[in-house]
Every structure is written in structure tokens, then in C-alpha cells.
Amino acid sequence: MNKLIELPEIRDVPDVCEPQHGLLPIEDAASATNAFFDTGRNLYWILNRRGGWIALNETQFKRILKQRNISPKVPTGSYVSPLDERLIEIQQSCDVHYAGAMAGYAAGVYDTGERRILITESPHIIEPKHGEWPTLKTLIDGLLHDPEFDQKPYLYGWLKIAFEALVARCLRPGQRLGRAGIHATSRPGRDP
């Protein structure tokens, strides 16, 4: 009785970097007021106008903030400019431990316990279709066909469950895929 396990919830983050359904709205991304700071690489991540995440170094990001009328000038009686205040706010409130693609996760901000991560790309799921697939079938038959212990049904079941879980965006317990054999030998009746 395998139950589906939901992916980590998208965590509430401060308003300055609030995700909506895992993604920031494109119109807000253009303002560069919604951004994330990648602590490992010292980069700022924002959505471009096509809805894709892009990484900017501090100089590039400052240029975007200036374009959006955030002043680099220090006001009288202050030691920090509004631009620097914004950078500090993003570094301290919108930091992520990792930013990049991750297999099986939709784009968005995730809390993985003690760390927040930014997934920059959703998987591109290929819709399955009925038809012939001779190349893969030959490969799988060559690897797994054994008249006594046919392992192909287990592989196909594993692939089916993995695909369904990916489409449903849920993690699910399943079989572990592994191959083992004696080193530097071949199966009987096959060329080494």
C-alpha cells in the first residue's frame, strides 16, 4: 500500500519575494523588486520577461534596480542608500541555498527543512503515445531478458509509477533500480 507523498510545500516568504504558485508573476519580475539571492554563488535570481529565471551578479542587478528608480544616492543623515538597503533586504530575507534545475520539481521556491531552494526550471514531460519503440525495446531486452527470471515487468512497473508520480507532482515510494553482475564477465551465450 504505497501512498503518494506530497512534495515539500512552497513556503511563505516575505512580501519582497513572495512566490505565487511557485513562480513569481512575470510583470513583477520585470520590476526587479522580486528577487532571490543565491548564497553559494553570490548571484541574484530574477524572472526575465519570458518567464525564465536568470542569474545576475551584483553589478548587473544594481543596474536593474536603478532602472526601476531605486536610488544609489545616500540620503542626508543616513549611511546607506536605498539601493544598498534593497540589496541587504534581499540578501537577508530572500536568500536561497541552491538555485537551479532539479529533476522532478516544478519551478518555484521550496523549503527543504532548514534550507530554501529556488528551482529555476520545471520538467518538460513528454506525453506518452502508443507505437513501436524498437531501439529501446532491443536495449531493454538485451539487458533484462532472462528466460528464468524476466526482470522487464519490474522495470516497466517502476517506470509507470515514476511517470505517474512526476505528472502528479508527488513523490512516491518505489523500487530501486540497480544492476549487478560478476566483474569482467558476460552472460552465457553472449559475446564478451
pLDDT (tens, 9 = 90+) of the chain, 192 residues, equals 333 434 334 333 333 444 333 333 223 333 334 799 999 999 999 999 898 999 999 999 999 999 989 999 999 999 999 999 999 999 999 999 999 998 878 888 888 878 889 999 988 888 889 999 999 999 998 888 788 888 888 888 888 888 888 888 777 776 676 767 666 555 555 554
What the block records as the C-alpha cell of 32 is: 526587479
Nearest to 94 by CA among 44, 26, 32: 44
Do residues 100 and 108 make contact, with C-beta atoms less than 8 angstroms apart?
no
What are all long-range contacts of 181-184, with beta carbons under 8 Å and residues at least 24 apart? none
pLDDT at 58: 96
pLDDT at 120: 93
Do residues 35 and 53 make contact, with C-beta atoms less than 8 angstroms apart?
no
Q: Give, to the nearest 10 degrees, the angle between helix 134-144 and helix 152-168.
A: 130
Nearest to 121 by CA among 111, 133, 106, 132: 106
Q: What's the pTM?
A: 0.63
The DSSP bridge pattern shows strands 53-56 and 43-47 to be antiparallel
pLDDT at 177: 67
